[in-house]
Amino acid sequence: MKSENNDNSFSSLSAQLEENNKKISALMSENEDILRRMGYKPPATNMALNKKSRIIFPSGYIRTKSYFAKKYRLNEFFSNAELATNMAYALQLSDLYNFILNRFNIWGPLETMVYKAAIINYVCIIESFIGQVFDDMHKYCGKCDKHNHCEFFMPKVNNFAQKLDAIEKSGILSLTSMHYAQIREAYHLRNHMHIYTAARQNEHTQKAFNTRLHNDIIKIMQIVVVSLYNDMLPATKTCYKDTL
């Protein structure tokens, strides 16, 4: 019979995780108490520990820049290397938010604010993918002398909402009306990122930023990237009608 320490059943491992979290929580609280006894008042004043003495973030949770570059074909979407790199960093940031939301017990309005930051990051990623491909397709098709009479020509617009409307109208992407509605919902909330505008539609009382929207926007981002790659990215280098 296996000893209790070697039991790899789901229930045993779950119990081990819970016990470890209790120990980690206790140690973190003890550290804050030590700092206060040393005369500090975190977070207003803090001890500047050197990096080697700080809590080590678990390796492997935040995926690498090269992982995201390959998974999302960033170098194919973005000809500008710096922009592709920034996209990879934004995707890495999404992993950090994921860690915070899944590992820490945050409550009340602060939980809403973390979800808000995570969702806004995802919306910015979606906006960048769509905006880049839209602009590239507009630039390529603009060279064609028939573009003014083509139902797939993407007009010159700067507003993301207008770009999304034009794409949906063309039917070029394999997204459902529900997908577009979810993107617009998240984009609308993203536009309330400023504190003074958010007060007009209080996200804390409405709990607009939550687990449901967070998980939905992750799925939407992945669907959008695949659809852009298959349906719209080729049209930045060849006539879309020739691919039909």
Residues 6+ apart with CB under 8 A from 157: 163, 166
d(CA 138, CA 163): 11
Tell me the per-residue pLDDT of 92-139, one tens digit each, with 9 for 90 and over: 999 999 999 999 999 888 998 899 899 999 999 999 999 999 999 999
- With left for phi above 0 and alpha for psi between -120 and 50, is residue 73 left, alpha or beta? left
For the chain, the structural domain boundaries read 1-56, 58-243
Tell me the per-residue pLDDT of 37-91, one tens digit each, with 9 for 90 and over: 999 999 999 999 999 999 999 999 999 999 999 999 999 999 999 999 999 999 9
pTM of the predicted structure, to 2 decimals: 0.89
Helix, strand, coil proportions of the chain in percent (round to 5)? 70, 0, 30
Alpha carbon 38 to chain centroid distance? 39
